[in-house]
Amino acid sequence: METTHSFHPFDSFLDRMRNPASLDLVRSIKSFIVSFSFNAPNPENDAKRIQDFFQSMEAAIRDHPLWEGSSDAEIDNALEGLEKYVMTKLHSRTFASSAEDVKMDAEISDKICLLQTFLRPQHLDIPSVLQNEASWLLAEKELKRINAFKSPREKLLCIINCCRVINNLLLKASISEDHVLGGADDFLPVLIFVTIKANPPQLHSNLKFIQLYRKQSNLVSEAAYFLTNLVSAKSFIVDLNAKSLTIEESEFEASMQAARLVNRVPQETLTTFDKMSTFRKITDPGPSTPMHIKAKTNLNGELNYPYMEAEAGELTVGDVEKLLSLYKDVVTKYTSLCSTVRHLSFSKTVSPAPQGNDDDLMRQTNGRTYKDTSCQED
Amino acid sequence: MGCSSSLPDRSSGRSTGLNNADNSEGPDAKNLRVKLVLLGDSGVGKSCIVLRFVRGQFDPTSKVTVGASFLSQTIALQDSTTVKFEIWDTAGQERYAALAPLYYRGAGVAVIVYDITSPESFTKAQYWVKELQKHGSPGIVMALVGNKADLLEKREVAVQDGVDYAEKNGMFFIETSAKTADNINQLFEEIAKRLPRPSPS
Ligand SMILES: Nc1nc2c(ncn2[C@@H]2O[C@H](COP(=O)(O)OP(=O)(O)O)[C@@H](O)[C@H]2O)c(=O)[nH]1
Ligand SMILES: [Mg+2]
């Protein structure tokens, strides 16, 4: 079983591939990759072809003079290198390439954003001895790294590492806290909660990619078990409703509703702002606005509720409709907010994790990965 | 992490069900590897059974570092074949019941456990049997296990009920006690004997 990210089969694979003796292998790899440019992506079909290719290459490498007398571990390194090379080259075709997958990813991520605003460990009956902020953060961090890699193996390793952190936490709890070892009964709820806290990028596409394109002979044992658990966590989140949790139905609905309102604000802000052309001069008062007025209204409030600074004398009958709809909007939001706050008042909330920064980091890492893999280009 | 007894297993073959010699480097007729999924209500003793089998221990609170939800253990049979069980624990809470198919998909063995002091757990076991008959891999080996056989004075499910139900459904049946270790090894040995062997080619 692979244990760390530090194992680099890739360099030795590229080294061997630069050896003139491997020209035949290089040719078949390249022609295999090129062969994909002739037809549209088709995940099931692509997966079958790629898995078959891995198998035939395994035989070719075992019989190859360059690997004569090699240990199983060395052969394995070569096969891992091959997987990474091929899947990096075919990444845009095989990863999140259909509109459906993109939509799934967005839906899951949106739902997680909503859940993050109110979900607590108690809703999944996670015992307090297992609520270890440091371990959970570590586990989340592993999951969030998943898009820093392009090969199925490395993506899977992020999941394995995340699950190991959780397993260690369970073991520690059972040793030091006299918590009865609960097995999957403890493991799965913690993984679900960690997944929601992490909101890992493109969760659906990443899982699908690993399931389809990780070398099948390595998708076994513990690795397969951990992957299945994350697939299972995803499925739980997708279907999650009030009945999935220890929560009152009304509280669940109110919390989701409040979360939707909060999450929708930025978008509404823009449309509201655009529609309010008549009052543009008020909402956008220009540089002459006294500082103390700006300080009193926050940006969102100002844009969302453009009448905030209006004088009664400026209003016309034409404004009544807008005023009324804004009034209703405010009352609805206020009511939801109140009910949510009432439910949350005694408990710690999960703060939504910022997602943006990770993406930049990933792009950088991916860029580097890509360069690595093009060493072989002529 | 020191919990799983599974070691690097580079030579093993495909991922699902019973892994046998379907590729030249994989396990052969003498060395089988099988995915075993554990199903049954929370509290019936699944974890204890596995702990007993893998580590010879019973007490789930004992200070051992044993993997919580995935464990593997190899046994040798009399005919000198070995069987490596890869044991997949499933979360027993009701809210996760719908996820079970993700776990038993591709399993070669399903061990369905109930507690002989709990008729509800026996009913739940029957639910799992039906579900596996409908959706499990064809040819899956199923075992019905009545655990906590040491709690004789509290028994609420008659031995005969287990025997009859298993017989009707063509499954292997055994009563065990993870507490006294009674029949634990027998359970796994009997399962091993019932595994389909790859036909010699
Ligand atoms: N008397 C008795 N108690 C058992 C036996 N097996 C398990 N238990 C107890 O039943 C409880 C639940 O066991 P556990 O293995 O965690 O059940 P699981 O939820 O199915 O994994 C624990 O308190 C065990 O000590 C048994 O064979 N006999
Ligand atoms: Mg258990």
A chain contacts of residue B12, beta-carbon cutoff 8 Å? 217, 220-221
Q: Which of A94, A128, A145 is the last residue of a domain?
A: A94
- Any idea which ligand is nearest the CA of B59? 1
Judge whether A263 lies within some domain.
yes
Q: How far is the CA of B43 from the centre of ligand 1 (A)?
A: 6
Average pLDDT over residues A160-167: 96
How far is Cα A63 from Cα A249, in angstroms, rounded to an integer?
62
Same domain assignment for residues A122 and A181: yes
Judge whether B23 lies within some domain.
no
CATH code of the domain covering residue A34: 1.10.246.120
Compare A183 and A240 and report the one with higher pLDDT. Answer: A240
Q: How far is the CA of B54 from the centre of ligand 2 (A)?
A: 14
Query: How many separate domains does chain B show?
Result: 1
Pick from B123, B118, B117, B165: which is nearest to B142 by CA? B165
Q: Domain containing B152: what range?
A: 8-18+28-194
Judge whether A194 lies within some domain.
yes
Judge whether B84 lies within some domain.
yes
Check residue A341 and give its pLDDT.
65
Read off the pLDDT of residues B8-44 as tens digits, 9 standing for 90 and up: 333 333 333 444 433 333 456 788 999 999 999 999 9
B chain contacts of residue A4, beta-carbon cutoff 8 Å? none
Q: How confident is the model at residue B142 (pLDDT cuts 50, 70, 90)?
A: very high
Taking CA–CA distances from B40, the nearest residue in chain A reads A185
Judge whether A298 lies within some domain.
yes
Same domain assignment for residues A212 and A310: no
Read off the pLDDT of residues A322-348 as tens digits, 9 standing for 90 and up: 788 888 878 777 777 776 666 655 444
With a pLDDT cut of 90, the percent of chain B lying above it is 68
B chain contacts of residue A231, beta-carbon cutoff 8 Å? 102
Read off the pLDDT of residues A46-61 as tens digits, 9 standing for 90 and up: 999 999 999 999 999 9
Compare A376 and A110 and report the one with higher pLDDT. Answer: A110
Ligand 1 cavity residues, CB under 6 Å? A 183, 185; B 40, 42-48, 60, 92, 147-148, 150-151, 177-179
Average pLDDT over residues A13-37: 92
Judge whether A57 lies within some domain.
yes
Query: How many separate domains does chain A show?
Result: 3
Same domain assignment for residues A225 and A104: yes
Same domain assignment for residues A240 and A130: yes
Cβ-nearest to B68 among A76, A183, A243: A183
Judge whether B52 lies within some domain.
yes
Same domain assignment for residues A215 and A361: yes
Cβ-nearest to A217 among B8, B14, B91: B14
Out of A170, A179, A185, mutate this one to test ligand 1's pocket (max ligand atoms within 8 Å of CB): namely A185
Q: Which of A49, A74, A94 is the last residue of a domain?
A: A94
The H or E element containing residue B118 is: none
Burial of A269 (0-12, 13-18, 19+ CB in 10 A): middle
Q: Please check the confidence at residue A170 and state whether its pLDDT lies above 70.
A: yes
**Considering only CB atoms, which residues of chain A are within 8 Å of chain B?**
1, 55, 72-73, 76, 125, 164, 167-168, 170-171, 174-175, 178, 180-189, 216-217, 219-222, 224-226, 228-229, 231-232, 235-236, 239, 243-245
Q: Beta-carbon neighbour count of residue A152 at 10 Å? A: 26
**Considering only CB atoms, which residues of chain B are within 8 Å of chain A?**
1, 3-4, 6-15, 19, 23, 26, 42, 46-47, 50-51, 60-61, 63, 65-70, 72, 86, 88-93, 95-96, 98-99, 102-103
Q: Please check the confidence at residue A263 and state whether its pLDDT lies above 80.
A: no
Judge whether B2 lies within some domain.
no
Q: Domain containing A82: what range?
A: 8-94
Q: Are A10 and A372 in contact (CB under 8 A)?
A: yes
Judge whether A184 lies within some domain.
yes
Secondary structure of chain A in HEC code, one letter for each residue: CCCCCCCCHHHHHHHHHHCHHHHHHHHHHHHHHHHHHHCCCCHHHHHHHHHHHHHHHHHHHHCCHHHCCCCHHHHHHHHHHHHHHHHHHCHHHHCCCCHHHHHHHHHHHHHHHHHHCCCCHHHHCCCHHHCCHHHHHHHHHHHHHHHHCCCHHHHHHHHHHHHHHHHHHHHHHHHHCCCCCCCHHHHHHHHHHHHHHHCCCCHHHHHHHHHHHCCHHHCCHHHHHHHHHHHHHHHHHHHCCHHHCCCCHHHHHHHHHHHHHHHHHHHHHHHHHHHCHHHHHHHCCCCCCCHHHHHHCCHHHHHHCHHHHCCHHHCCHHHHHHHHHHHHHHHHHHHHHHHHHHHHCCCCCCCCCCCHHHHHHHHHHHHHHHHHHHHHCC
Taking CA–CA distances from B103, the nearest residue in chain A reads A228
For residue B45 the two structure tokens come to: 């003793």
Q: How far is the CA of B168 from the centre of ligand 1 (A)?
A: 27
The count of residues in chain A is 378
- Any idea which ligand is nearest the CA of B51? 1
Average pLDDT over residues A203-225: 96
Judge whether A376 lies within some domain.
no
Q: How confident is the model at residue B89 (pLDDT cuts 50, 70, 90)?
A: very high
Check residue A56 and give its pLDDT.
96
Q: How far is the CA of A253 from the centre of ligand 2 (A)?
A: 32
How far is Cα B30 from Cα B194, in angstroms, rounded to an integer?
14
Check residue A12 and give its pLDDT.
80
Check residue A125 and give its pLDDT.
97
Same domain assignment for residues A103 and A235: yes
Q: Give every CB contact of residue B118 below 8 A, 6+ residues apart in sequence.
A: B41, B44, B156, B157
Pick from A135, A248, A257: which is nearest to A187 by CA? A135
Same domain assignment for residues A79 and A117: no
CATH code of the domain covering residue B150: 3.40.50.300
Compare A290 and A168 and report the one with higher pLDDT. Answer: A168
Average pLDDT over residues B112-127: 98
What residues pair up with B82 in beta bridges, in sequence order?
B31, B76
Judge whether B200 lies within some domain.
no
Atom of ligand 1 nearest to the CA of B42: 19
Q: Do A221 and B90 touch (CB under 8 A)?
A: no
Same domain assignment for residues A328 and A308: yes
Q: Which of A94, A118, A150 is the last residue of a domain?
A: A94
Taking CA–CA distances from A242, the nearest residue in chain B reads B95
Taking CA–CA distances from A56, the nearest residue in chain B reads B23
B chain contacts of residue A181, beta-carbon cutoff 8 Å? 47, 51, 60-61, 66, 68
Q: How far is the CA of B155 from the centre of ligand 1 (A)?
A: 15
Mean per-residue pLDDT of chain A: 81
User: B172-175 and B18-19: which strand pairing?
Assistant: unpaired
End-to-end Cα distance, chain A: 35
Cβ-nearest to A181 among B68, B72, B95: B68
Same domain assignment for residues A232 and A273: no
Distance from CA of B66 to the nearest CA of A (A): 8
Atom of ligand 1 nearest to the CA of B113: 20
Q: How far is the CA of B98 from the centre of ligand 1 (A)?
A: 23
Distance from CA of B49 to the nearest CA of A (A): 12
Judge whether B199 lies within some domain.
no
Atom of ligand 1 nearest to the CA of B51: 15
How far is Cα A353 from Cα A119, in angstroms, rounded to an integer?
13
How far is Cα B96 from Cα A124, in angstroms, rounded to an integer?
11
Q: Are B177 and B147 in contact (CB under 8 A)?
A: yes
Judge whether A3 lies within some domain.
no
Same domain assignment for residues A171 and A231: yes
Determine the angle formed by the axes of helices A72-89 and A356-373, rounding to 10 degrees.
Answer: 110
CB pairs under 8 A between A and B: 117
DSSP-derived 3-state class of residue B35: strand
Same domain assignment for residues A88 and A30: yes
Q: How far is the CA of B43 from the centre of ligand 2 (A)?
A: 7
Q: Do A245 and B95 touch (CB under 8 A)?
A: yes
- Any idea which ligand is nearest the CA of B52? 1
Same domain assignment for residues A166 and A310: no
Check residue A315 and give its pLDDT.
80
B chain contacts of residue A232, beta-carbon cutoff 8 Å? 96, 99, 102-103
Rg (CA), chain A: 27
